[in-house]
């Protein structure tokens, strides 16, 4: 009970601690700094793009992406070389499809 009262009092004190607060004032010569900022040359789109691209995170991410793509192609080629049966199956299927297509074409020709 006593503890609750104490906490309530602390909360009230905290809430009223900013009563009569004075305005904070910036450092002197703010206008000079604003004018300096206004006189700064504006960066073009390409300047901003160059800054963005040359950031280490972007460079490393791009490099990783490139390496992953290369690795993917390499794995694909290696697996087809190491497993000729799969290659043969692919070729056979392709041949069969070609035969079916030519047969269908012939059939169509005869029907006409």
Partner 1 sequence: LDFKNEKILNQSEAELTGQLQRGEQGAFSKAVALYQDMVYNTVLGVIQNEADAEDITQEVFVQVYQSVASFKGDSKFSTWLYRIAITKALDFEKRKKRKKRFAVVQSLFGAKAEAENYPAEFNHPGVLLENKEKAAVLFKALQQIPGNQRIAFTLNKIEGLDNQEIAAIMDISFYAAESLVARAKINLKKKLTAYYQHQSAK
Which residue of 1, 5, 17, 45 would you call a contact of partner 1, by CB under 8 A? 17
The secondary structure of the chain as a DSSP string is -HHHHHHHHHHHHHHHTTTTPPPP-PPS-HHHHHHHHHTSPPPPHHHHHHHHHTSHHHHHHHHHHHHHHHHHHHHHHHHHHH-HHHHHHHHHHHHHHHHHHHHHHHHHHHH-
60 binds partner 1 (CB under 8 A): yes
For residues 7 and 48, which CB has a smaller minimum distance to partner 1 in the complex?
7
Which residue of 57, 81, 82, 85 would you call a contact of partner 1, by CB under 8 A? 57
55 binds partner 1 (CB under 8 A): yes
1 binds partner 1 (CB under 8 A): no
Query: Scanning residues 18 to 47, which ones bind partner 1 (CB under 8 A)?
Result: 18, 20-27, 30-31, 33-34, 37-38
In whole angstroms, give the CA distance from residue 68 to residue 83: 22
In whole angstroms, give the CA distance from residue 34 to residue 39: 9
Per CB under 8 A, the segment of 7-15, 73-81, 85-93, 100-108 that binds partner 1 is 7-15
Residues that bind partner 1 (CB under 8 A): 3, 6-7, 10-11, 13-15, 17-18, 20-27, 30-31, 33-34, 37-38, 55-57, 60-61
């Amino acid at each position: 009970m006593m503890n609750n009262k104490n906490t309530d009092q602390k909360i009230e004190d905290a809430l009223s601690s900013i009563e009569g607060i004075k305005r904070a004032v910036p450092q002197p010569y703010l206008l000079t700094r604003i004018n300096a900022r206004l006189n700064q040359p504006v960066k073009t789109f390409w300047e901003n793009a160059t800054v963005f691209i040359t950031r280490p995170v972007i460079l490393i991410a791009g490099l990783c992406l490139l390496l992953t793509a290369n690795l993917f192609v390499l794995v694909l080629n290696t697996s087809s070389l190491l497993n000729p049966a799969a290659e043969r199956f692919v070729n056979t299927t392709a041949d069969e499809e070609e035969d079916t297509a030519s047969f269908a074409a012939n059939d169509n020709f005869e029907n006409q």
